[in-house]
Amino acid sequence: MKTTFTLLLLFLTSLGAFAQTYSELVSLSFSHLEQNKYKSFEDTYPKLFTAYLKEQATDYQAALTATADGDMAKAFAALDRVVTDSLLLDEIQTDKSFAALHTAKEWNSLLFKIKRIEQGYHKKARKALLAINAHDQSIRLLVLEAYRKYGKESNEALDLRTRMKEIDAASAMAIQEIINKYGWLGVDKVGYFGNQVYFLAIQHAEDTVVQQKYLPIMRKAVTEGNAKPWQYAFLQDRILMNQGKRQIYGTQKIVSDDPAKSYIIPLQDPENVDSLRAEVGLGPLQEALQEDGMTWDLAAYKQRLPEIEKMYRERYLQAQAAKQKQKP
């Protein structure tokens, strides 16, 4: 289940009646923007990720359905599986849809299991990390929804991408403070999503200097078991892309509405890319590319490489020019 959440952005079912659904929050966020209610927007959109996450968690949804049907045994069995994965611990305790379970003796046992997990948490660090995560992931969900509703090049989508860059910059600063103060904490200290934030915030930072600064720190976190090798691979490739160089693991690609303008960032060793990916726990490149409607064929890649190199170079130069304009 956790792998699905790491990759994110597959839309499934709806929530129970007591909570705002993901789709309702999306509509409300767009409504606030259309009416220039920016304070209301800032209060609303960070809730998107949790709502989305609940709708993605099949066991959480099974627990909601079983509770509504009065099948307590099935509800507790499903919730126990969610807790075992250390996911949605806060939400289980606060979701009013589970109120009917609170009088059962199994509820106290479930709470005891949750509290036992939470006892090992660094509460201040986890709270700060989850706040970053809510903004980082929620704005990305909303950008995708804007693509669907308005189109990728619409004013609404462009506005949200600008907001996303601002959020990424703030997240990069916040994660630096957390690392400096608490270090790179593992899942046992901040939970699954708290731990993911370290990688996401640095990965999404526009500042290559910041990314390079924390690359050795992430390498150490990998050796200590507090970060995953595939995360390190993603960051390596992102840094290389931001420098206009060839990537190693094939994690970076450019996706366009026009298939002719979609391409994988050039590779250092295309013949052995799948072996390199396997070493860090990533699946075959074809599987990764097909999620965006792309394919991997070594011969076709080599034939198209001059065209790809030209588009890649133009993109890099445009990005550098934009950065120069932003300097005071």
pLDDT of residue 85: 85
Is residue 19 within 8 Å of residue 54, measured between CB atoms? yes
Six-digit token pair at 178? 């957390």
What distance in Å separates the CA atoms of residue 203 and residue 234, rounded to the nearest whole number? Answer: 8
pLDDT of residue 23: 95
Whether 17 shows a pLDDT value over 50: the answer reads no
Query: Confidence band (pLDDT; 50, 70, 90) for 86?
Result: confident
Domain ranges of the chain: 2-118, 253-328
Is residue 46 within 8 Å of residue 26, measured between CB atoms? no
What number of other Cβ atoms are within 10 A of residue 24's Cβ?
14
What distance in Å separates the CA atoms of residue 303 and residue 282, rounded to the nearest whole number? Answer: 25
Across the chain, mean pLDDT equals: 91
What distance in Å separates the CA atoms of residue 61 and residue 113, rounded to the nearest whole number? Answer: 20
Which string of DSSP letters, residue by residue, matches 120-177? TS-HHHHHHHHHHHHHHHHHHHHHHHHHHHH-TTSHHHHHHHHHHHHHHHHHHHHHHH
Rounded (5°) CA angle 293-163-48: 70
Phi-psi region of 207 (alpha: psi -120 to 50; beta: other; left: phi over 0): beta
pLDDT of residue 328: 63
Whether 2 shows a pLDDT value over 70: the answer reads no
Whether 174 shows a pLDDT value over 50: the answer reads yes
Q: Which amino acid is at 38?
A: Y
What distance in Å separates the CA atoms of residue 132 and residue 194, rounded to the nearest whole number? Answer: 9
Six-digit token pair at 222? 């990998």
SS (H, E, C) 251-318: CCEECCCCHHHCEECCECCHHHHHHHHHHCCCCCHHHHHHCCCCCCCHHHHHHHHHHHHHHHHHHHHH
* Weakest mean pLDDT among 95-104, 210-219, 309-318: 210-219
pLDDT of residue 152: 86
pLDDT of residue 176: 92
What distance in Å separates the CA atoms of residue 238 and residue 248, rounded to the nearest whole number? Answer: 10
pLDDT of residue 323: 78
How does pLDDT run across 48-80, given as a tens digit for each residue?
999 999 999 999 999 999 999 999 999 999 999
Query: Confidence band (pLDDT; 50, 70, 90) for 4?
Result: very low
- Per-residue CA distances from 98 to 68, 190, 237, 258, 289 (Å): 9, 25, 43, 46, 40
Q: Span 7-12, mean pLDDT?
A: 36
How does pLDDT run across 265-312, given as a tens digit for each residue?
999 999 999 999 999 999 999 999 998 889 999 999 999 999 999 999
* pTM assigned to the model: 0.81
What distance in Å separates the CA atoms of residue 250 and residue 240, rounded to the nearest whole number? Answer: 11
Choose between 267 and 7: higher pLDDT: 267
Whether 98 shows a pLDDT value over 70: the answer reads yes
Is residue 191 within 8 Å of residue 185, measured between CB atoms? no
Q: Span 195-202, mean pLDDT?
A: 92
